[in-house]
Amino acid sequence: MFKKNILVTGGAGFIGSHLVRLLVNKYPEYKIINMDVLTYAGNLANLKDVEDKPNYEFVKCDICDFEKVQKIFIDYQIEGVIHLAAESHVDRSIKDPFSFAQTNVMGTLSLLQAAKFAWGGNFEDKLFYHVSTDEVYGALGEDGFFTEETSYDPHSPYSASKASSDHFVRAFQDTFGLPTVISNCSNNYGSFQFPEKLIPLFINNICNNKPLPVYGKGENVRDWLYVEDHARAIDVIFHKGKIGDTYNIGGFNEWKNIDLIKVMIKTVDRLLGREEGTSEKLITYVTDRAGHDLRYAIDSTKLKVELGWEPSLQFEEGIEETVKWYLENKEWMDNITSGDYQEYYKEMYKAK
């Protein structure tokens, strides 16, 4: 018998796999049920080291399949939900917004309804934790930060779908009393990230001497947080967060894309024993992303002051660890980039 059964959705993805690993190892008294449909972004190889643990179970399920989701809530007597399953890449949302509305909005709604029915109004010791993004707040100018009070102003189909899902979560709290909590995090980096996102894509291209497609002038700014610090923050909020509240998660670690790219080039070249600056010639400025948000920056003071969370890692150390991981796990990268990825890459970057 486990003390608590926790449903993690999207646990085979980048952040989800780090969270599942943390929870399974830290809480042997909890049962962690990982619900994931395994889209292109879901990969059970991300969880090899925990797959045989007695307190872990994988269930293949589409969060939009309401009947099946409901059954899982009942069969596993789910008491807590940490919801990460989503379509997560902005560029894909520009090409195919429907799938973002379907998964991120309808999928979240399906989970909320299932939780409401399964818990039947007895919400004691229950929690629905929705993992969201800082992109719901829109874009910042040269200065200022997103706080928990910043108004929503999403620009991409991805951020619009996440904003909509956040609204549904709050609506279920306000209308039905479902105990919920939401966190909005900045850009994550680290191991096991699908190489469609900037950091793993560029590390892989630098290794393979392929062009580095920098959107626009490379002047957009992102606030980067080490993925294990995000997982730690989710753990803290899940256990100590105030019901109905929102927490921003970020590392106070802003980088202009082009500066970050130069750090990646320097690090990969050094670790591969190449002469410094060898790969700078790969930088290729391409057509900007449509609706490209200029700057994101999170103020995570509330999380620090109220719940005592702080990032554990300096960026220099985190990026070094991350580059090393991708260099040492070539097989993981080759498995991903050998199949459909080739088609994705050709299609996404053909006009650029």
Q: Which residues are catalytic?
A: 134-135, 158
Please check whether residue 230 is in contact with residue 190, taking contact to mean a CB–CB distance below 8 angstroms. Answer: no
Q: Residues in contact with ligand NAD, total (CB under 6 A)?
A: 29
Of the CA atoms within 13 Å of residue 8, those in its CB half-sphere come to 28
Task: State the CB neighbour count (10 A cutoff) for residue 167.
Answer: 14
7, 36, 212, 238: which one binds ligand NAD (CB under 6 A): 36
Backbone phi, then psi, for 212, in 5-degree steps? -105, 100
Q: Which tokens belong to 308? A: 């005592």
The two counts, helices (H) then strands (E), for the chain are: 13, 12
Question: What does the angle CA 230 – CA 90 – CA 291 come to, to the nearest 5 degrees?
Answer: 120
Q: Give whichever of 103 and 279 is closer to ligand NAD, judged by the CB atom.
A: 103
Residues with Cβ within 8 Å of 283's Cβ and at least 6 positions away in sequence, in order, are 212, 214, 218, 258, 261, 265
Among the listed ranges 95-103, 208-216, 232-240, 297-305, the one in contact with ligand TYD (CB under 6 A) is 208-216
x-or-dash string of contact with ligand TYD, 80-119, rule CB under 6 A = ----------x-----------------------------
The Cα–Cα gap between 200 and 208 comes to 12
Binding status of residue 257 toward ligand NAD by CB under 6 A: no
Q: What is the dihedral of CA 207, 208, 213, 219, to 10 degrees?
A: 10
55, 187, 191, 279: which one binds ligand TYD (CB under 6 A): 187
Q: Give whichever of 56 and 194 is closer to ligand NAD, judged by the CB atom.
A: 194
Residues 67-106 that bind ligand NAD (CB under 6 A): 84-86, 88, 103
Please check whether residue 47 is in contact with residue 21, taking contact to mean a CB–CB distance below 8 angstroms. Answer: yes
Q: Is 132 helix (H, G, I), strand (E, B) or coil?
A: strand
Binding status of residue 62 toward ligand NAD by CB under 6 A: yes
Closest by CA to 78, choosing from 114, 42, 47, 113, is 114
Among the listed ranges 13-21, 25-33, 143-151, 299-307, the one in contact with ligand NAD (CB under 6 A) is 13-21
Least distance in angstroms from the C-beta of 211 to ligand NAD: 23
33, 41, 90, 231: which one binds ligand NAD (CB under 6 A): 41
Residues of this chain that interact with ligand TYD (CB under 6 A) are 90, 187, 197-198, 201, 213-215, 220, 222, 257, 289
Residues of this chain that interact with ligand NAD (CB under 6 A) are 9-10, 12-16, 36-39, 41-42, 62-64, 84-86, 88, 103, 107, 131, 133, 162, 185, 187-188, 194
